Structures are given as C-alpha cells and as structure tokens.
Amino acid sequence: MEYAALCMALILGSPPASAQEVFDLQFDHSTVLVSNLEASAAFYATVLQLGEVKTPWGPTAPIRFYSVGGNWQLHVGQSDQTIEPDKNTHLAFAIQNFDAYLRFLRDQGIRVCGFPRQS
C-alpha cells in the first residue's frame, strides 16, 4: 500500500488489513528538559518525592530517571536550549491530600500559581 493511501486509510478510520495485529502498546515514560539538572533533580526527589531509577548510562549522564508509579517513569534531561514554561505542556499528578500538599509546597518555598491564597 502506498504511503498516501495508508495515510488516507488512517485518517478515514478504516485501517489496512495489516493494521489488524494487536501490539499491546503501553505508556512507558515521558521526558522533560531542564536547564539545571542538579537543581531539577533535587526538586523531583525532594519536593515531588519521586524515587530515582538507575539510568543505563550511569550517574554522570545528563539525564535522571524517576519512578512515577507502576512501570512508568519520568526522565529529566539537561538541555542547553532556552526553556520557556508553557502551561499547555505539563505533567499532572493526582494527590490524596491536596490542601496539605499545598502547605508542604509553600513551606518548601515553592511558589504556587493559580490557587487561592490560604490563611
């Protein structure tokens, strides 16, 4: 099947016969880029309390791996590019005691945006 025909088949929602195979696709990890790996590693380990996972490249590689539950990981990689925060590109975590965690973040000196002030 030609590339254009394959694209058209996928767009129209009728997969080609060869796409009937099940591949058991599962989420594995996501990567975020940071400008200061050591400061970011401290944040993910201390503030988010994520457990670090050994990377295949050793502790001097410009990347850190963290467990985010189950078999899922967050990879945090050093970048020399300018990193502009974008609310539309983000990670989201669920937490059991939201108000207590907001207090914990504020106690850690973490500025929290978008939530009402608590007295």
Q: Which of 9-23, 48-62, 85-99, 101-115 shows the lowest per-residue confidence on average (mean pLDDT)?
A: 9-23
The reported pLDDT for the residue numbered 21 is 80
- Beta-sheet strand order (sheet of 73-78): 29-34, 73-78, 63-67, 51-53
pTM of the model: 0.70
User: Per residue in 61-76, is it b (16+ CB within 10 Å) or e — as a string?
Assistant: eebbbbebeeeebbbb
The reported pLDDT for the residue numbered 17 is 59
Amino acid in position 17 = A
- In the predicted structure, residue 114 carries a pLDDT above the cut 90: no
